[in-house]
Structure 1
């Protein structure tokens, strides 16, 4: 039975090309490997499938333990409403393997025909250039890990491994592969091992537009082979997400209003939000609200509305800071309620708890939940670091930021704000200054960040620079004053807030 068709069984609809399992029209979230397992079993109904078959075809020949296979089988049964005692669909044949017992039909209602609002991507098998066919397991492992990492990003739709691997060594052009798989982007690359070094190349293609969007080469010493594999996979995944998002930002901006969907509005909102300007925050919120009008259950759009309110509160842009914080909490809770699995919603809720309620432990718990859901995501690590700089854990924040910057070499300007603030809290002013000083030109309306620049100048005894920066703070936000800092800036440790206030006074803030 071909894996290029959608399959129906027992009320389920399985689309191997899209990597989706639906029950009565409702998508069932699955880890990529569990979905691969269900695909392999469902495309071999009634056949005895041994553990060796599963290792070869689901784990691509990589050595896995019996417990790992059993865990995946159990997860597949849970997804299918089955169990080890019922074995309605997946039957264990003692000491021999497994058999899929559902009546499987090729479905005419192909999920592949549904329009996907999110950017869609296929990762083709990375080519093994080592000259040793036995090394293919490593290049395939890199590809597997990249697919797994990318599948954690809700903003992307990633084609399942079974479908993308059918194009190993294919003669088709990238645009033909993209049309066959129904995707907008293709990622491909190669792996070469020689002696104690490994070189991985990767590139992202917009095949229908005929453009190469990004390419990079990674050279590493092989000390711990699988640690290197994990690192490269995470870096490539973060960079791919960034490149695809930038491309979609451009497309969303160029669309006429009548053709803009909820995701387009969300992308417009994201770009505006990162500008850190009062008018841009308001426009970003309006775009996110347009997304919610089209899709009221869009959890990330709710979270972005909350973020805009937090920006207004932290920078004293709002007419009433307390009201802005209350609105932020309302929107953040709506995001988690809309989809409790959405890590971005939990990450923003963590900020809200800290700024609105001064609930620092609860805020960090939400932030860590986001990171645990998507551990390779540099953005969630940076958001946790942002929280740590206010929660009295600046040394840990530096570690988290170093990791985030390693995972995403093209990190945004806000990373410097977070890093500089952590160094300022640790009284490492000389190190903090180059990070913070950038804000004066890159984000001239970011009052809270500018105030930290001024405080750092004061700590270094650069009084004229400190006073000039305070003037910039007042231009950015007339409401940012000592009273605002005392009442609202979310420092968990009184000594750290006192340290900040002391240097703001020295800088000339009243």
Structure 2
């Protein structure tokens, strides 16, 4: 080995290799600076890089066999004059020193030269473009421009692109670029304006550093039909300015438009904005907008994908059955992928549908596909995090990994930040959770802060009573706050088994506002638990109050009224009225009713019904009614595993607050499970 090193030195291979690397790096820096000025295609810089890399072994081969001397290039084995070799060495030393001095000068002049080509992702946010048009109807066109540029940049793997839900919060915020960059944790900001008038459009865009340093700007005054080309060009120029190496596939994606129909783009932007507010009415309205968009452009794959997403959500936020939700969503998923198999949304939506069916392996494959296509898809990362929480064998590490990735892409999302906070508690990172809560406090609603503080203290002290104390402290400052009163009613029943206190708070809520359907339902159920059927009968007999309820709520309350009194025949008569309206509610209540009746045959028939999946906590309560202890504790242990990952423990609270569990409260298996999840085992049922 020493002999080889000595020979490498004699032949100047090491020095000449160092000289090559330094000069090659300088060449790359020069070309990466000047090529964007000449608007050269991105592949030119890639070709130069590949050429220099391939040239290195050839240069080393040349250095071994030849040396550069004042007399010219001579084969090393023919070089006998040491003076010539020494002079060649001095020339090489001068070349290396000159190259190093040039490198130092470049770093001095341009300090960010190393970071721009680092392996770490650069981060960028595209702020909402300002609508300068006189007609405010052009606001959706302006938003469409913003989203299109954001979508294009998201296709570049070397960029971390902030999600639209976070950047939209800075629309007309008046905050400075450094302030925005700090909140979003990004290095670069894109901002601009749009003026649309008749068939002309003026688009201005500029790229800024986080410190407000101007990097690039351009104005486009073009025909309206060229709007999509402009958006594409803006995205390409930003990538060039950041000097990011992209693959041929990424370059192709940058040159591909989602739609070429301006009105379709506006409808799409409007649909996404409306769908952000998750109500049944808004989701249904967004579907109509998306359908108008795909009617204008039948090849608008993203439009089909968003329709699929909304149909999936309508099972959660609306009253669409699981079967119909899946049927409609899959129809539009398949259409979207038929048009363009390289968009992420259809795969993540399909994954969510597969979770409902308990097909965890295929759900995982689809989430991985979605994230592989678009690593900047914050929603896919968020939902994949929830996947790791909900699956039969939860993984806290994976949950935290993906929720953190989602957070970096969408740092101002309330639901996402709440999930990440819970993940930190799950992972017993209470100190980090405490710091994190202070950081996101400004995002959360007041009631969410109260809950978060209570959960944090519960994790620190390993006692869920801290959650109750948090709400009680808040109630002292706001004694008529309905949300606080309602939460305390639920918590006293679910944590402390104090049904008297639960009814007390429920009555307070009802006395303050007896017109809210949710409050009416809560009070009735609390009265049923306390066996105060005469008082419940007064509410049920009040036509004005009952007319405030949704038809299904009304029927379920009457069903529960008789079921809690063990009048199963009357209860079943009301249950049958639900079947044609909402099969999911029907079968869920049927399993509960017949298990309470002790009819295991009918209960199992519901469990095994094709296309219907009963939640684990509901199965646990059914087995409690049927006195099937082993099955009860099988599901309690299963729930305990993922309840730890969903720190709010809603499922365990519902189980613990149920009268069906009363016979098992002293069972060591039950007390162990509840203690593990920070329930106070010394609580006494009232």
Q: Which has the higher helix share?
A: 2
The structure that has the greater radius of gyration is: 2
Higher relative contact order (CA 8 A, sep 6+): 1
Give the TM-score taking structure 1 as reference length.
0.47
Give the TM-score taking structure 2 as reference length.
0.36
